[in-house]
Chains A and B, each alone.
Chain A
Amino acid sequence: EPEVTQTPSHQVTQMGQEVILRCVPISNHLYFYWYRQILGQKVEFLVSFYNNEISEKSEIFDDQFSVERPDGSNFTLKIRSTKLEDSAMYFCASNRGEKEKLFFGSGTQLSVL
């Protein structure tokens, strides 16, 4: 069964550094998302992306965050200057239609020191 792929599975970075989290959504999907989950807390929506632009973003997704679909397969989340509170599991997700079943990747655990 096709799946959403995320790399790396773990990323450790120093506060203030830039990180790029990478995702390869399922190939025939059109809608892409980033979520995060701080340890012990709820999964939180960050941003949705469709037709090469952001369709919605949460208040968490401030100017330090950006997303890009640099080619036909990758979908990236960039955090420009990481803070301690950015430490979380980041999940990429995709679906074929906006109201269709959502498929998640296995996540990138980001640790900011």
Chain B
Amino acid sequence: KQEVTQIPAALSVPEGENLVLNCSFTDSAIYNLQWFRQDPGKGLTSLLLIQSSQREQTSGRLNASLDKSSGRSTLYIAASQPGDSATYLCAVWGDKIIFGKGTRLHILP
């Protein structure tokens, strides 16, 4: 059974710093991995989708990597801004799409 873990559960960093969010999964037989952002009480905004044949995807200040063999993905956020404060979720696609519990990110002005 696929399990998805995100560490840390919460993170506070000063504005301007680069940071890395981690996602690990137990079953490497996946199709895709997608990173989402969730603001409090709101829906999920898609950030990046990495297909299983890809190693990374980039969008603006965001870079997501995927290492299937080790069951890990990272989301790198460059030059963090207060507007980046949100919960970041990773979702792993196998038979079903399984979500991690998320990392609550707080960027300190």
Contact = CB atoms under 8 A, between A and B. Distances in A.
* Interface size range on B against A: 20 to 34
A104 B49 contact: no
Interface string A33-76: 10000000111110000000000101000000000000000000
Interface in B28-79: 31-32, 34, 36, 41-46, 49, 51
A32 interface: no
Contacts of A43: 44, 89, 91, 99
* Interface size range on A against B: 20 to 34
Given A104-B44, A107-B42, A45 B96 contact: yes
A58 B44 CA distance: 20
B34 A101 contact: yes
Interface string B70-109: 0000000000000000000101010111111110000000
B36 A104 contact: yes
Contact of A99 (B32, B89, B96, B100): B32
Given A56-B96, A58-B96, A101 B46 contact: yes
Interface of B: 31-32, 34, 36, 41-46, 49, 51, 89, 91, 93, 95-102
Given A91-B44, A104-B43, 16 more contacts: A6-B43, A41-B101, A43-B91, A43-B99, A56-B95, A58-B96, A93-B44, A99-B51, A99-B93, A102-B46, A102-B49, A103-B46, A104-B36, A104-B44, A105-B43, A106-B43
